[in-house]
Each structure stands twice: as C-alpha cells, then as structure tokens.
Amino acid sequence: MHSYCEGLVHGLLQTPEYARAVMQAGGVRIRQVEVERRVQARMLRQRRLTEPEPLALSLVMGEAAIRQQVGGPAVLAGQLAALARQIEEMPHLQVKIVPFEATGHPALGAPIFHVLGFASTRLRIWCGSMARPACTSWTIRPPVHEYRMVHAGAEDAALSVVDSLELIKAAAQELE
C-alpha cells in the first residue's frame, strides 16, 4: 500500500487518543458514541500491520502531520512516540516526511490518497482519494498510474526513512 497524508498521521498508525481528536475536530458533528465506534474500528484495521503476513505500507507525510497539535501537545507527543516505535519495530513500514524546507513536489496540496495492490485477478489495483466530503475510488489504469507517479514524486522530495525517524523523534522531544 502506498499512501500520502499531508497534514495528518495515517489512520493505520494513529493512537486512539489522536484518532479521537481527529474525529472530534472534523467539520461534521457526530455523537460521542459514534466517535468511539469509529475509533474502535480504526484500531481493529491496524491489526493488518501486525498479522503474520502484514500489510506493507509506504507512507509519505508532510511535516505538518508531525507538527499540528491535534488534540493538544500531550496527544501529539504520545502519537509521535508511538509512530517512532512502529517505524523501528515494523520492517514492512516505510515512513518518509516531506520537510517544510522542501521546495515543492507533485503531491503538494493533494488530499489523502492511497494506492493498493491485490493478488486477486478480479481487482489488481485500487486507487482512492479521501477528499472530503466524499471518498472517490478508481480501478482503471490512468488515475492509478498518475497517483503512483505523484507518490513517487513526493517520496523524492521527502527525507530518507532514517532522517524522517529522527525528525519525528525531535518533534516529540520538543513537546516534552
């Protein structure tokens, strides 16, 4: 799975507190019971990263994702500490940060998007954009190819995995 998230930590890597804060900060008001149901569902989806054959995730995030104090400094500090642990413990997880200093890249200003590949002959590739208010998905080649190229361009503008991890740790330390 290849994903791009400019301003938020990817849902598969969010702590419950961070996910709750994201959902509560959204423009649509939802009841607390629904927020908790959605947080629980998000936590269940995260199991894909720890299964015996885990999902491989190549993620590019903008630096804003590790700086925006979603839920406040304590929530973000906990999120960044958890993210750093995940990166260190999961070899199938590649996280790269596009720093504020980057001059630009093809995904700049893009909504969250994902490109997934499947073994099935019925659906080999899925591409989706989580632009609000609706989620759009395509299974035809041209948009998939374009999104792959945009993701690759964002990766080129990003720090290395090692440097990204160091930036995440430094951002967490700044919040302490």
pLDDT of residue 143: 66
pLDDT digits (tens, 9 = 90+) for 12-52: 999 999 999 998 887 677 888 888 999 999 999 999 999 99
Q: Give Cβ neighbours of residue 19 (< 8 Å, ≥ 6 apart).
A: 11, 38, 39, 42, 43
122 has pLDDT over 90: no
**What pLDDT does residue 126 have?**
56
Please give the share of the chain, as a percent, with pLDDT higher than 70: 81
Q: Tell me the percentage of the chain whose pLDDT exceeds 90.
A: 57
pLDDT at 176: 83
Is there a contact between 26 and 12 (Cβ–Cβ < 8 Å)? no
Among positive and negative, which fits the CA dihedral 153, 158, 74, 87? positive
Task: Tell me what pLDDT residue 169 has.
Answer: 98
Is the predicted pLDDT of residue 135 greater than 60, yes or no? no
Identify the pLDDT of residue 42.
92
Closest to 136 in 3D by CA, of 110, 107, 118, 155: 110
Residue 130 pLDDT: 53
* Nearby residues of 43 by Cβ (< 8 Å), 6 or more positions away: 16, 19
**pLDDT for residue 129:** 59
Whose structure tokens read 């994201």?
Answer: 22
| Domain parsing of the chain, residue ranges | 2-11+55-174
Q: What is the DSSP letter of 8?
A: S
Strands 57-62 and 2-5: parallel
pTM metric for this prediction = 0.83
How do residues 148-168 score in pLDDT, each as one tens digit?
Answer: 778 788 898 999 999 999 999
CB-based burial of residue 170 (10 Å sphere; 0-12 exposed, 13-18 middle, 19+ buried)? exposed
